[in-house]
């Protein structure tokens, strides 16, 4: 019988958007932030944000390509479960076929 070690690791999560998902993203964005906040406060999500097609130009909207997040969890399955609960996942913002989840070991981190 397998047992859980209760050892947590950082997981880097890369979530590319579906083509043409910007309108869906913006429509559910407030729900995404509201729903993710409890997981941030409990320490599951350590960092997250959008990755961009290009460096932003002044006065122009961001060209979002997807999301990158950093999780603190025992397993890839726990991370995937949290992703599946997100409104971006449920509303086909993220391209489910391109989700990448990797164990991550930070070599350095500058405190905010």
Report if residue 91 sits inside a domain: yes
Q: What is the pTM of this model?
A: 0.88
In this prediction, residues 24-31 reach a mean pLDDT of: 96
Report if residue 110 sits inside a domain: no
| Structural domain range at position 98 | 16-52+64-104
Distance in Å from the first CA to the final CA of the chain: 43
Report if residue 33 sits inside a domain: yes
Report if residue 94 sits inside a domain: yes
∠ at Cα 44 (39, 45), nearest 5°? 80
Q: Is residue 3's pLDDT more than 80? A: no
Report if residue 59 sits inside a domain: no
In this prediction, residues 81-85 reach a mean pLDDT of: 98
What pLDDT was estimated at residue 76?
97
Number of domains in the chain: 1
What pLDDT was estimated at residue 6?
79
What pLDDT was estimated at residue 86?
97
What pLDDT was estimated at residue 1?
46
Q: How confident is the model at residue 4 (pLDDT cuts 50, 70, 90)?
A: low
CATH of the domain at 75: 3.30.70.1060
């Amino acid at each position: 019988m397998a047992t859980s070690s209760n050892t947590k690791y950082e997981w880097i999560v890369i979530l590319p958007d579906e083509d043409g998902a910007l309108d869906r993203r913006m429509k559910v964005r407030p729900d995404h932030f509201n729903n993710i906040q409890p997981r941030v406060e409990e320490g599951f999500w350590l960092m997250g944000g959008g990755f961009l097609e290009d460096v932003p130009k002044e006065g122009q909207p961001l060209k979002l390509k997807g999301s990158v997040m950093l999780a603190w969890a025992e397993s890839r399955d726990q991370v995937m479960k949290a992703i599946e609960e997100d409104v971006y996942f449920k509303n086909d913002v993220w391209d489910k076929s391109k989700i990448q989840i990797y164990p991550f070991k930070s070599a350095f981190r500058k405190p905010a």
